[in-house]
Structure 1
């Protein structure tokens, strides 16, 4: 990447990291305050934990579309301001109701789609995949760091201190947005990255995408519900002081991450994403069945390692499957709906988990995750084998701007090309290709030597 693109990628990844930290840093410690927080009940604690996901899911697609009209940076700044305000309200809250309000405002700053759109504005099509990979890696590392830092910050500064730290990180993100992230020359719609009007109907009626959306919903429902119980499990079953919980989370997260990486690489190389998906769901089912009976540190540690290994694999595999499944013209919309389902899962896990905890206890909460995972297993087994096509985007020469239909036809003739979308406004083409058959040299040759008004150039490989 160019120096400008490296600045854009690092700054936007940091903005993503701030929001992830705000979501996950309280996850391992919040339920430890259930007995001391005024007006707290299991249901209200679950609502406070999960309402972030509800407001995020409701607003992220509208925010992404609105950024095409009002500009990326102003909208991201507004979202970060809401995030900071919510963090301050939660930090100053004197009861669970104040935390619920603060968490709702945190989620209302739903800038994820706008950040992706700004990424697309600043990074050339040919290098955009690298930028997204860097942002994705940052998200994964932030999740791990947040789970470890949460108990450490709580030990020194309490629950309010976590929210104050989140507010300070939000201010840092605002500073990075205006001093480090470059200003794009212009903003354009990016259908391969963010939702576009008119694309929702097809995405919501695609049965394979619905299966994947249900999967990410269940995965995050299970995560949120489990953490209504796990912090107290470490205290009551293992007698572990809350300040030492990071000693559990750090090794199990690292081991889970280490188990996930070779599994994902192998699944991609061997074109075995569906078996890997079903295998990870099976592990999730086994873990949910183990957790109610894990009273020793060995069994509980094993269950948590397996949980995070399965969670990380599924978190990595599901977006890849959505990108492979969605039509090239609707990929951004499909990813937006998928992300909304992820956050709705967090909300549902908090609410349902809190209700189940009220009436059935901790074992019933683990049972909720087990039942959801069993339903997901059935949906995954019945899904069609995913395609092994890859998404590619390229800028094309200005000479083709007035001949987009002819360019579309020429590109469709290239070997290995399964789908084509030509965007004259962006001077870009979006392709789904078979990596084993597609020859990028032929495409470059078409761009370089093919002319809209000239003779037909043979471009089949």
Structure 2
């Protein structure tokens, strides 16, 4: 079998694994997203819910435990298996959902949300997806999972007001728990078991790479960015639903704002993403999106009295938000060292959840003690600092990541092959990891000669086969 990238489509098993894992991720994220537009209304009727600090902590508490446990849960899946960790995480998420559903005060809701976040299975799901897909199709599998998250985010915000009217927030929490239990069945009955489970540098965090990733100034800027993005998002969910109600819109009609805003915001960002990638203008698009996000947030503060004004401000905000949410992982991939991509993504993802907690908790505190103006000032400060950090960052190279399967070899030969690959035209970085049987390359968007890579790997495979005979 050739060591080069295959032109075959994803196999039935790979599609089954990808769709199954995407649905699990989607069911779980639906449960986290769906309460965002309605939780502020529910909290008003809970003992302790008149304290905005506690409301903010309840809204974002899942992010704290998620941020702390996500990488360790991924490491645990390397030791005891992917599926056991996913089962345990989904069970925790279900328990937390039922605790929140039965809560009779804000403190029990906080406790339930903490348990929900402890079911931190994101890293284990990504590792299982890597186990079940070939190198040439792994990016496609991750893209499907990513698109599922985006679609679920839009769907959950659109249906939340109707669900709140039909079953209330306790019913939504209970439904979330049931969906988590259903996800366990999907993992058991639908997602294949991997024949071999091994560490994957492109999807998992490594202790060896952690220090270098945390010291990388460019990655730190991006990590601050995802922190600020989700902190702002969660802080605003404490205020936007109340703003729409005070402007005269019934709670059950809020979907009429969220649905068109989210739909058109996603449509608007597609040309910008294509332009940034194709024209190697990703930094310019990225910085412009942060400026637009800041404008959208300021417009929200200025248009609190009108439904139309709030809708326009939300359109600007979510167009920028969706563009940044899509651009940040691409920038991480371009900037991270070729052998530390999984570690960089793991730190980035943990920082994202930490931002969700901090934004909701600090936003609630500021609303409690300084009113709405304090919350808007906090969000504006976060985004203004992000704009400065992004504006002064180095423009990322116009590169993309490639993966190739290689034959088993010793460490010396893998080092030699890494050097040979790095010397080929259009290859910026190359790392062959013998234990993973994978060659990781970072290559130019233009000028990369893939045929030379294929030929070199085929020659090496032929040499290995000849030697073994």
Alignment equivalent of 1:37, drawn from 37, 46, 53: 46
- Partner of 2:439, secondary structure, is strand
Contact map agreement 1:396 1:447 (CA 8 A) in 2: yes
Q: Which structure 2 residue ranges, 5 or more long, are not aligned?
A: 1-9, 465-469
Greater Cα shift, 211-220 or 298-307: 298-307
Inter-partner Cα distance in structure 1 for 2:179 and 2:61: 21
Number of positions where the alignment pairs a residue of Structure 1 with one of Structure 2: 453
> TM-score, normalization: structure 2?
0.94
What residue is the counterpart of 1:459 in the other structure? none
Contact map agreement 1:15 1:173 (CA 8 A) in 2: yes
**CA apart distance, 1:446:** 1.4
**Is residue 12 from structure 1 mapped to residue 21 from structure 2 by the alignment?**
yes
**CA apart distance, 1:364:** 2.2
What residue is the counterpart of 2:320 in the other structure? 310
Inter-partner Cα distance in structure 2 for 1:251 and 1:21: 19
Inter-partner Cα distance in structure 2 for 1:443 and 1:380: 34
**CA apart distance, 1:308:** 0.5
Contact map agreement 2:43 2:106 (CA 8 A) in 1: no
**Is residue 264 from structure 1 mapped to residue 273 from structure 2 by the alignment?**
yes
Q: Give 1:130-209 correspondences, 5 Å limit.
A: 130-209=140-219
What residue is the counterpart of 1:385 in the other structure? 395
Inter-partner Cα distance in structure 1 for 2:345 and 2:405: 22
**Is residue 373 from structure 1 mapped to residue 383 from structure 2 by the alignment?**
yes
Contact map agreement 1:407 1:452 (CA 8 A) in 2: no
Superposed CA RMSD in Å reads: 1.4
Runs of 4+ deviating beyond 6 Å: 399-402
Contact map agreement 2:406 2:461 (CA 8 A) in 1: no
Task: Provide Cα deviations, 1:270-328, integer angstroms capped at 9, x if missing partner.
Answer: 11111111111111111122112212222111100001000000000011101110001
Contact map agreement 1:353 1:368 (CA 8 A) in 2: yes
Inter-partner Cα distance in structure 1 for 2:223 and 2:197: 29
**CA apart distance, 1:240:** 1.0
Contact map agreement 1:195 1:336 (CA 8 A) in 2: yes
What residue is the counterpart of 2:307 in the other structure? 297
Alignment equivalent of 2:415, drawn from 405, 412, 427: 405
- Partner of 1:414, secondary structure, is coil
Contact map agreement 1:229 1:362 (CA 8 A) in 2: yes
Task: Provide Cα deviations, 1:18-77, integer angstroms capped at 9, x if missing partner.
Answer: 221121100000001232111221000000001110000000000111111110000111
What residue is the counterpart of 1:124 in the other structure? 134
Inter-partner Cα distance in structure 2 for 1:167 and 1:451: 50
Greater Cα shift, 323-332 or 392-401: 392-401
**CA apart distance, 1:435:** 2.5
Inter-partner Cα distance in structure 1 for 2:363 and 2:375: 6
What residue is the counterpart of 1:458 in the other structure? none
Contact map agreement 2:408 2:434 (CA 8 A) in 1: no
Inter-partner Cα distance in structure 1 for 2:410 and 2:448: 21
Q: Give 1:323-338 correspondences, 5 Å limit.
A: 323-338=333-348
Inter-partner Cα distance in structure 1 for 2:409 and 2:390: 46
- Partner of 1:44, secondary structure, is helix
Inter-partner Cα distance in structure 2 for 1:448 and 1:58: 43
Inter-partner Cα distance in structure 1 for 2:11 and 2:207: 32
Inter-partner Cα distance in structure 2 for 1:406 and 1:204: 28
**CA apart distance, 1:441:** 1.8
Inter-partner Cα distance in structure 2 for 1:198 and 1:452: 32
Inter-partner Cα distance in structure 2 for 1:399 and 1:161: 56
Q: Which structure 1 residue ranges, 5 or more long, are not aligned?
A: 455-461
**Is residue 64 from structure 1 mapped to residue 74 from structure 2 by the alignment?**
yes
